[in-house]
Each structure stands twice: as structure tokens, then as C-alpha cells.
Amino acid sequence: MPYEIDETHDPKLESWVESANDPETDFPIQNLPLFERRVDAVGGTFSSPCIRIGNFALDIMSYNSILCDDTREDENEHPIPPEDEEEFVSGFNVHDMLANGDPRQIRKKASWLLRRGNKLLQEHEFRDEILIPMEKIIADRPRIIGDYTDFYASVHHATNVGTMFRPDNPLLPNYKWIPVGYHGRASSVVASGTPIVRPSGQLSPAEEGGTPSFGPCKLLDYELELGMVVGRGNELGKPISVAEAEEHMLGVCLLNDWSARDMQKWEYVPLGPFLAKNFATSVSPYIVTMEALAPFRCPAYRRPEGDPSPLPHLFDERDQKLGGIDITLEVHLSSQQMREQGMKPIRLSKGSFKDMYWTLSQMLTHHASGGCNMQPGDLLGSGTVSGPLRENRGSLLELTWDGDPFSNPPKPLPGTQRTPIKLPTGEERKFLADGDEVILKGYCEREGFRRIGFGECRGIIEPAAVS
């Protein structure tokens, strides 16, 4: 069960992979996220499923082909866990693994294999073919991603953005009843580190009733989000209940929903985001499993008095009690000038996923509630993660905005009035410039447990292809 804390979360657990015991690492033995490494071979590129441990990747297929037989023959000397079957997990990529195996066992087995004292792999003659240093491999975009949907689950983000455009009526009447979302574009979901070409498109007219123009986006932005990867799908026509939704989740990653605000403003009525969002979405390669997140669960967002309770099909007692996840999320930025002058990136914001109005279970349940069939590898973006404070705002659209709906009484709402962010070079930013690199980071900390992290999700803005 994804909520349960067991011996794999024991903070005292250490690995014989020494880099995993570094207190600073995102990838101790308590984490063990899945990822796919890119393998360039004769006949093309393929991916191989791996588990990240410290500064190494455990290659699952190599483990299966080299070690499984040994494991069985060597049963007395190195007892295998009772639930272990013939292979670590079957399949040639994560998609096959999800379809054929029980991905929930993967982390458990890896925890057993990699913990201090287990010599099976540590002393194996082919260890170096199974455990590969990260500097020798490329962590790719998870190839399992099929469809992509993006939600809008932070009430703080929705209120901020709504206030800019509809000061008297920031939240539309549906917001507190349904987790609002739209179907995105999976083909342009890219791995962290992939350069992001500034999109061109129709930009909103300067004045109401004016003529739009076509050209490079002038108001390019990022959105700090969490991506949830579906593990087990549902049949067409058979919804997923909130109570069972977590059983359908593989894990979560960092997600940057790059956004062209001047295109978005013009095109979003009446059918929602389109080209303003579909040019690129970056994801971190590591899928932190729901099991690894068990110690960091928290109650669902406490709705303020007067807000409606979710309708029965989106309400579950356990989800209300433990449906939140306390993941700290940060945005960092470095400009080209900063990098040239050897400056470190600066942090723009810091927030927590626990501030989201809707839980991941509610989003997944809502998505499938009409009968939509979710597939293994479907990616669900949470929507921009913003909290109640200015420093919690997960996009430049909000960070550089002058209006503050949380002051009391609310300030006048100047719409597009903006205060730029000052960079250490003296440069200013209201939105992203070419050469800017945006770095998302995420981690979980709780007293009595080992800190786990998500790695990074990076992207540098390149000049537009069409001017």
C-alpha cells in the first residue's frame, strides 16, 4: 500500500554504495527512483530501465540477465526475499514492466539488494555491468509517457492568475467542484537538459479589439509543477474510485510547463491552452515512487470555511487524511551573463506540494470518472504549485506581479503592472530571456526519516527559430 511505512524507510538503513550514504544526496537507499537510460546501439536508440542509487544506476535488465540464475542457485547463501520471483521484474522497458510485473516490488527488491551487508551484487564479478556510474550514462525522458494532461490544482495559483484577468471574479464557479485540467501534448515532453526554443505564435493585440501579430513570444514563462506517472491503467468505461486511485500511480517527477503568456492570453478562450503550452514540457528523469513518499504524506488541503466539500465521488476519508504530500519545490534561475561570470543560480521561489487544493487521487479519479481509460505511463501535471505567500509563487507571471490578493484588505489589482526581479549581474527579468536557465528542484524532509530528493529539471531558453 502506498501509504504504508515499512523497513525500507528506516532512516538507519545504509547502502554498500557509499555515495548513497552522503547526507546531501537526493538518492539514498530509502528513495530508489526508477528512470530510463538512453542506450545508443546499432539499429537505433533504445532505453533501459534503471534504479538510481547514490551516484550510480542499477540497470534492471543487466541484473535480470546476469544475476537471476545466480540468485536461485545461491539461495542458501543469499536468501532471496520471499516474494521474489524469477526475475527482478520482467520486460525490456518500464512500459513492459508496468504491463507485466508488479512495479511495487521493484523498490523493495532493490532495497534488499543494495543494503549494507548484502554481498550478492557487491561482490559479483560482473557488478560493473549492472551498477553503472551516472557520469557514464544519459538519464532520458521516461519513454513510457504516452498521453499528457495538465491540471490547475493550486487554488493560490488559480486565484493569482484569475485576479489578473478577472479582478472581481478570480475563481470561476467550477473551480472548487472539479479539478480543472486540459489535455496536453505528449510528443513535446522532453528530458531535463533539453534546450527550449522560444516559440513563435500569434500574440495578443496590445489593445482590446486590436490586431494580433505573429512573432517570437515576448512573455515566456515557466510553471513549477509535479508530474504524476500512471502505473496501472483502467479499462475504457470503468472509472477509478478515489479510494483505489493510489494503486494506479507509479510515482512523481518534477515538471516544467513552459508557457507563452502572450500567446496564451489570446488563444485560451473558449477552449483553453493550445500552442502557448505545446512547444515544450520538461520533466526530471527520476520517477520517485509512491512507496518512497510514504513517510511524507500529510492531510489533504484544509478547505477554508464556506468552501464546498468535494462531491462524494471525489471524497474518501483516507485521502482526506493522507492524500497530501509534503514535497518542497524550488525554482532557480541563471542567466547567460551569470554563468559567464561564474555566478551560481539564484532561487526565485520555494513552496510545498501540500498547498494544493486537490489531491493526486482526486485528479486521477476525476480524469477517469467519465470512463476515460488511463494507460500505464500517462503523465498528469499538477498545475503550477503556488502557496499563500509571494515567495511561494511558482511562475514569473505571479512572482513579478504587483497585485496581491492576499493582503487585507485586497489591494487594487493593476492587471499587468509588474516589478522585475533583479539578478546579481544587474539584469532584470519580468519574463524569461534567451540564455536563461530554469532549474526546478524538489525534496522531502521529515524528522525521523531520511531526506529524499527528485534531482533536477533543467532547461535553457534558445532564440526563436522564426522571427
Size of the residue set binding Ca ion (CB under 5 A): 3
Residue among 257 and 355 whose Cβ is closer to Ca ion = 257
Q: Match 495538465 to its residue by C-alpha cell.
A: 150
Q: How far is the CB of 225 from Ca ion (least distance, A)?
A: 6
Q: How far is the CB of 447 from Ca ion (least distance, A)?
A: 32
Tell whether residue 223 is a contact of Ca ion (CB under 5 A): yes
**Cβ-based neighbours of 216, under 8 Å, separated by 6 or more:** 198, 199, 200, 463, 464, 466, 467
**Strands 428-429, 437-444: pairing kind:** unpaired
Q: Please report how close the Cβ of residue 150 comes to Ca ion at its closest, in angstroms.
A: 5
Which own/partner contact pairs does 14-19 have at CB distance under 8 Å and 24+ positions apart? Answer: 14/115, 14/116, 15/53, 15/54, 15/114, 15/115, 15/116, 16/114, 16/115, 16/116, 16/117, 16/118, 16/122, 17/53, 17/54, 17/56, 17/114, 17/131, 18/54, 19/54, 19/55, 19/56
Contact range with Ca ion by CB under 5 A, out of 176-184, 250-258, 311-319, 360-368: 250-258
- Rounded-to-integer distance, Cα 168 and Cα 414, Å: 12
Q: Confirm if 36 and 319 have CB atoms less than 8 A apart.
A: no
Count CB neighbours of 1 within 10 A.
11
Judged by beta carbon, residue 157 or residue 198, the one nearer Ca ion is 157
- Is the Cβ of residue 51 or residue 439 nearer to Ca ion in the bound state? 439
Residue 398 makes contact with Ca ion by CB under 5 A: no
Give the range of 43-51, 61-69, 145-153, 168-176 binding Ca ion by CB under 5 A.
145-153
Q: How far is the CB of 205 from Ca ion (least distance, A)?
A: 24
Query: What residues contact residue 79 under an 8 Å CB cut-off, 6+ apart?
Result: none
Strand blocks (E) in 210-279: 213-216, 220-221, 224-230, 249-256, 259-260
Nearer Cβ to Ca ion (150/262): 150
CB of 281 to Ca ion, least distance (A): 9
Instruction: Kindly write out the interface string for residues 309-348 of this chain, putting x where it contacts Ca ion by CB under 5 A and - elsewhere.
Output: ----------------------------------------
257 binds Ca ion (CB under 5 A): yes
Please say which residue, 26 or 257, places its beta carbon nearer to Ca ion: 257
Active-site residues, by number, are 157
Pick the closer one to Ca ion by CB: 223 or 316. Answer: 223
- Give the integer Cα–Cα distance in Å for 245 and 406: 33
The interface region with Ca ion, picked from 41-49, 69-77, 220-228, 240-248 by CB under 5 A, is 220-228
**Stretch in the footprint of Ca ion (CB under 5 A) among 117-125, 221-229, 244-252, 349-357:** 221-229
b (16+ CB within 10 A) / e for 324-359 = bbbbbbbbbbbbbbbeeeeeebeebbbbbbbbbbbb
Of 150, 319, 355, 437, the one binding Ca ion by CB under 5 A: 150
Options 91-99, 134-142, 238-246, 256-264: segment touching Ca ion (CB under 5 A): 256-264
Cell numbers linked to 341: 561570470
Q: How far is the CB of 234 from Ca ion (least distance, A)?
A: 24
Query: Quick one: 103 or 227, whose CB is closer to Ca ion?
Result: 227
CB of 159 to Ca ion, least distance (A): 15
Contact set with Ca ion (CB under 5 A): 150, 223, 257
